[in-house]
Amino acid sequence: MYCLNDKQIDFILGDISARGIGMVSLQQNLLDHICCIIEQDLDEDGDFEHFYQQTVSRFYKSELREIEVEAINLLTHKNYYAMKKVMLGSGAVSSFLLTVGLILKFGHWPGAAVCLVLGIFILSFVFLPLVFTLKIKEQKSNREKAVVAIGALAASLICLWILFKIMHWPFANVMSLIAIGIMIFVFLPVYLFTGIRNPETKTNTIVSSILIIAGCGLVLTLVRSPAGTREQYAMNSGNFFRNEMILKSERNQGSPLQNATEKNIFSLCESIKRFLVFKETGSNEISADFESKGQLLGDSSAAMHFSSSTEMEKEIAELCDNIEVYNKGIKSGQQPISLARTILKAPEKKVTDALNDFVQIQMIVLQNQQKPIASR
Amino acid sequence: MIYSSELIKGTLKTIVLKQLENNKRMYGYEITQRVKVLTSDRIQITEGALYPTLHALEAEGLVTTETEYIGKRIRKYYTLSPDGKTRIDEKISELADFMNTMKFLLDIKPQPL
């Protein structure tokens, strides 16, 4: 039986490490294993170095490092099958939810939003990241891994953009620019030039690239251009400005409001309109030269602005109460203020529609006030 | 006859777990020697297969480890974890079932060892 000294043990450890074994626990295992073999099988006066080289060469096919590579592979692929199952499951669930969500949406039945949001959420945060993780393991070169990573990122961003868009959440447009930008200017060139070099994947790569360009092109045709958006916003401001002018002239023509409820309704509407205009444009009102001043009314959801101010929520509740009192006290020939389909009953409306509703409420109050005079 | 490493690879986890069940705690070299003796040299577990398998079993929580200093070097002892104890019967019956299927599939007549 051979007796190893400390110097020889240090030599073996150094050699194992130099041969590419970096995991400390694996180094310890191999060191002990080699020491055991030498102690058991080498004669007391045997040649240590020669025997060691002979022993260690039995451990591998081409290099010692393959033991560590195999260990890492086993550790990382431990969850491979579970991940694959979850990927397929999440893909099926998200497709099902999207299909049901779309059927509900087109049938105008309740539950559509929940299904669509959940479907897109699972698609972007479970299915696509898992596809990316599993695909990246199959790719050999760093360039191919990068293609998969960029593709998954762009696809997730496109899904989230559509989700943010339909839910009227902020940053949807920024997300669309980033997603389409990454897809066309980063993913496509890398994907095309990687795939086109390989004769096996050449045709598939070209076809897929054309489909990506066509897909992005079709999506972009549905999106309003920045100039178109500005035009639309300017039209919104113009509409609101004219409504306000008509309201002002109506008010100037009639007698001043006498009733406290009428006054409350009027002032509450004014206050809420001012709040919405300020939130949307940064100014308290829309003036005649709104375009040059940049007072443009966008597509934001009114509910989003209201949720940021508890005071506004209170004013809206107060307005509803006042309108209820007002409707109870109207005389014959006057029309009640119907709240059905107005911002007060359907808070998901856009700011421009909400402003329109408040102007209409004020106009009804003014017209009712003039009716007794006219009928006299 | 020495069995090829390809044949042993799929059964290695079960072999290691069974050895740990029978012998309480063992280190790597000991496992290879024990299997070699038990099978009259027919199954020789290679170091390249054993240590990745032991690391995977540890990561799966089927075995626990403790270290001991043997002079200047460290020896890592492996013991079956409670989870490993419950999984071992499952693994063995899966392998037995597989062996029966292979016997049927390849039309193997029972032969003495």
The DSSP symbol for A350 reads B
Residue closest to A362 by CA, chosen among A262, A275, A256: A262
ipTM: 0.89
Contacts of B59 in chain A (CB under 8 A): 74-75, 78
pLDDT in tens, chain A (376 residues): 788 888 899 999 999 999 988 888 899 999 999 999 999 888 888 888 899 998 988 888 888 988 988 888 887 766 777 788 899 999 999 999 999 999 999 999 999 989 999 999 999 899 988 888 888 777 767 788 888 888 888 888 888 888 888 777 778 878 888 888 898 999 999 888 888 888 888 898 899 999 999 988 898 888 788 888 899 999 999 999 999 999 999 999 888 887 899 999 999 999 999 999 999 999 989 999 999 998 999 888 888 888 888 999 999 999 999 999 999 988 888 899 998 888 888 888 899 999 999 999 999 999 988 875 544 4
What length does chain A have? 376
> Residue B48: its chain A contacts at CB < 8 A?
59-61, 66-67, 70
Q: Is some CB atom of chain B closer than 8 A to the CB atom of A328?
A: no
Q: What is the pLDDT of residue A100?
A: 96
What's the confidence (pLDDT) of residue A359?
A: 95
- Which of A246, A258, A245, A243 lies closest to A370 in space, CA to CA? A258
pTM listed for this prediction: 0.55
Query: What are the residue ranges in chain B where pLDDT is below 50?
Result: none
Token pair 């709104």 is found at A290
Rounded Cα gap, residues A62 and A84, in angstroms: 32
The answer to whether A37 contacts chain B (CB < 8 Å) is: yes
Q: Which residues of A188-224 are buried (b: 16+ CB within 10 A; e: fewer)?
A: bebbbebbeeeeeeeeebeeebeebeeebeebeeeee
Nearest alpha-carbon partner for A113 in A166, A76, A35: A166
Strands across the sheet containing B25-27: B25-27, B73-80, B63-70
Q: What pLDDT sits at residue A373?
A: 52
The pLDDT score that the predictor gives to residue B112 is 62
User: pLDDT tens, B46-68?
Assistant: 888 999 999 989 888 899 999 99
What residue ranges define each of the domains in chain B, with the CATH number in brackets? 5-105 (1.10.10.10)
Contact (Cβ atoms closer than 8 angstroms) between residue A294 and residue A320:
no
Q: Nearest CA to CA, how far is A129 from chain B (Å)?
A: 23
Chain B residues with beta carbon closer than 8 angstroms to that of A10? 72
Nearest CB to B51: which of A9, A30, A58? A30
pLDDT at A163: 85
Contact list in A for residue B47 (CB cut-off 8 A) is 30, 33, 58-59, 67
Q: Which long-range contacts (CB under 8 A, 24 or more apart) does A191-196 make?
A: A191/A147, A191/A151, A194/A143, A194/A144, A194/A147
Q: Which helix (H) or strand (E) holds B59?
A: helix B47-59
> What are the residue boundaries of the structural domains of chain A, listed by start?
6-59, 79-222, 226-375
For residues B43 and B32, what is the distance between their CA atoms, to the nearest angstrom? Answer: 9
* C-beta atoms of B72 and A10 within 8 A: yes
Name residue, tokens 């020896």: B75
Q: What is the dihedral of CA A21, A24, A26, A30, to 10 degrees?
A: 80
